[in-house]
Amino acid sequence: MAMTADPRLRRKTIALVGLMGVGKSSIGRRLATALNLPFRDADSEVESAAGQSISDIFASMGEPAFRDGERRVIARLLDEGPHVLATGGGAFINDETRALIKDRAISIWLKADLPLLARRIGRKDTRPLVRGKDPLEVLTELAAVRDPIYAQADIAVETSDTPHQEAVEAVLRALTDYIAGAPT
């Protein structure tokens, strides 16, 4: 059963943060549809701005240059009207990017167990941080560093291996509670 979205949820950008493979883009698209808001994918916007893939940016310029471009793109996106924004897995880790998101958006940490994420990201070889490595090992190392920072998000929503619509409904419930001032 689909929920009717509270119109107050359309007043501010909703930024999804979390590890790679958690579903920020796929859940984000469906959340944007449910809220009748535009959807923006920071990774796609970075690729468009740079004229090359994230893998190519990492290979030619390195991760620091990618993160700098990512920060600039997210700042530009946050200047737009309300939308649902799927960020890259490392975006919220950058102090400046996190401050921008905290100031101009409602941040939601999408969480899932690491073996599930490892299975998801292991299907394709398109993620520069995982290429040629054990996905579970990489995710375990990333989670150790990133989870305490993701925990600074306004809301945390546990997702699992359920249909995306169930995750969207969980996010909508958490958002509704958040804007009503209830603990999340």
**What residue ranges of the chain have pLDDT lower than 50?**
1-2, 183-184
Which tens digit of pLDDT belongs to each residue from 49-86?
Answer: 989 988 888 889 888 888 899 999 999 999 999 999 99
* pLDDT at position 2: 45
Supply 156's token pair.
């945390």
The boundaries of the domain holding residue 74 are: 8-179
Domain membership flag for residue 3 = no
* pLDDT at position 177: 92
| Dist CA 170 CA 30 (whole Å) | 12
The set of residues, in sequence order, having a beta carbon less than 8 Å from that of 121 and lying 6+ positions away, is 20, 21, 127, 130, 135, 139
Q: Where are the alpha helices (DSSP H) in the chain?
A: 24-35, 42-50, 54-61, 63-78, 95-104, 114-121, 135-150, 164-179
Domain membership flag for residue 53 = yes
* pLDDT at position 82: 96
- Return the axis-axis angle of helices 95-104 and 63-78, rounded to nearest 10°: 10
> Structural domain tally of the chain?
1
Domain membership flag for residue 52 = yes
Domain membership flag for residue 184 = no
Q: Give this prediction's pTM.
A: 0.91
* pLDDT at position 125: 62
* pLDDT at position 127: 66
CA dist 72 → 13, 29, 105, 152 (Å): 16, 22, 16, 21
CATH number at residue 36: 3.40.50.300
Closest by CA position to 172, among listed 47, 5, 19, 1: 5
Domain membership flag for residue 84 = yes
Domain membership flag for residue 105 = yes
| Dist CA 149 CA 182 (whole Å) | 22
Domain membership flag for residue 145 = yes
Domain membership flag for residue 110 = yes
